[in-house]
Structure 1
Amino acid sequence: MSTGVLPEGGGEGPPRLALTAAGALHAFARAEPDAERLALQAVLAGPELLSPAAWLARDAGHARLLPRAADAGWLTVIHRALRAPDVRLDDFVPQVIAGLSGERCAALASDGGFCVGHTGYNASEAEALCVAAADFTEFAARQRARGWHGASDRVCFHRDVNLLIPSVSFVPFWIDGIDHCLVLGGEPLLNQPAFVELLWGLQAAATRFARQLPAGWHGPGEASGAPPGGTPPGSTPPGGGRGGGGAGLKPPG
């Protein structure tokens, strides 16, 4: 099925709906996504990409969103069956984020400044930048509470007076309500499939982790058999998922 309004990539396989980098940035840019963002997130919600027909059939609102998404460049159609990355995050993250930085220096912060992975930076630099990214996320939340919603978007820091190529950029996004922030050294190179792959891999890891939670688990600090803030007994954190044959998107095997 062709949508008739979306750009289509090459290939001879069945059509599959995919987010562009711009679509991924928009879809995951808020801690509490609205219906439009949730519809876009649904493109990456499963273990493999949906056909356009399957996505449209999920909700009547998807058909209304399609022309706007096409105009904004949020969606595309590819002719390859792709599966979500199923790899350990500590192996996957450094590989996939390296190409998003012009200097191949990048880190990923999560949930209050924890460094999920880094490349190009040494450990102390990466940890300091991840804490700074968490501070920016908190700053942005305070500004949104005061009515300035522009603070929820990306920010660049510069050393040169011309403000051309940034020294570092912070790109915040949320997966299942958990804050993340991508730290990129030099020129940010977000407009590529690797950024979509990163978000899909993180969402897939969160889904696998949720499935491992024991019955009766209600979250940190509640009567669930886990210490406050700890990992539930018998479960594996998202970084400890099953290893795979590399960090790339894999065709169904």
Structure 2
Amino acid sequence: MSEYILTENLHLGMTPAGTYYAVQDHTEEPGRLFLHRLLQEAVTPLFTVEVACELSGYKKKRALEFVHWMQEAGLILGQEHSEAAPTETLERLLPKLLRTLSDEGKAILAESRGLYLGSAGFTHEAAEELAALSANLTAVYARHKELLHGNLGYRQRAWGLVDASGNSEVGFWPLYIGQNRFTLIIGGIPQFNQPDFKRLVWALEMRYGNTEIPV
């Protein structure tokens, strides 16, 4: 039987991969629930058995096994220093974060009704049209989900316009936060494997994780 050693003085942080896993689908799974609970913490918690139990919903031994699995999967990590969620308003935060998520500096965050909340690198008119298009693509996916997700087994929900080499010219990536769905629209190649992607999702989770946007 494996022995689990509690490493003291390490804070429980999330990797960009863990962030992506948390929000790319809304199917309730133990790992996804763990990550959403972690994202609702304003400051990364100091890792203890009690924290492991609270975030996982399991008792001590199973909780430690689960945390070990999450770490082995590259979804969480131990950090020597605590990290705080962004405190700026989304209006000020979004333009700075969005431009880092594309190799062309072009990105939009839209909500489920097809209205954009923030934009970088696109004109106002283009941002409005692409945000509206994102809502239409969501409706298309909903109509054909049984085929795409069920019969064909495609796990991804993103849509894209690709060139002859398969590279995305513009992509539409769903982000599920609480009861809300957002779409991250990226011009060019997405740059998700970085801290700013986590900061964006963390800010959205703190703002909308327990709030539903009126439809």
1:154 lines up with 2:158 in the alignment: yes
Question: CA 1:157–1:103 in 2, change beyond 3 Å: closer, same or farther?
Answer: same
1:93 counterpart SS class: helix
Deviation at 1:39, TM superposition (A): 1.0
4+ runs deviating over 3 angstroms: 3-6
For the 8 Å contact 1:103–1:185, the answer to whether it is kept is yes
Amino acid at match of 1:161: A
Question: CA 1:131–1:4 in 2, change beyond 3 Å: closer, same or farther?
Answer: farther
Amino acid at match of 1:25: Y
Deviates more, 1:104-113 or 1:137-146: 137-146
Alignment match, 1:114: 115
Any gaps of 5 or more consecutive residues in structure 2?
none
Higher helix proportion, which one?
Answer: 2
Question: CA 1:136–1:151 in 2, change beyond 3 Å: closer, same or farther?
Answer: farther
Higher strand proportion, which one?
Answer: 2
Amino acid at match of 2:53: A
Deviation at 1:112, TM superposition (A): 2.1
1:52 counterpart SS class: coil
For the 8 Å contact 1:98–1:106, the answer to whether it is kept is yes
Show CA shifts across 1:23-52 (max 9, x none): 111112223422321112111112111122
Alignment match, 2:52: 56
Deviation at 1:106, TM superposition (A): 0.4
Question: CA 1:101–1:5 in 2, change beyond 3 Å: closer, same or farther?
Answer: farther
1:181 counterpart SS class: strand
Give the structure-2-normalised TM-score.
0.83
Deviation at 1:82, TM superposition (A): 1.7
Amino acid at match of 2:130: L
Q: Over the residues paired in the alignment, what is the CA RMSD in angstroms? A: 2.6
Aligned length: 203
Deviation at 1:72, TM superposition (A): 2.1
Any gaps of 5 or more consecutive residues in structure 1?
7-12, 211-217, 221-228, 230-253
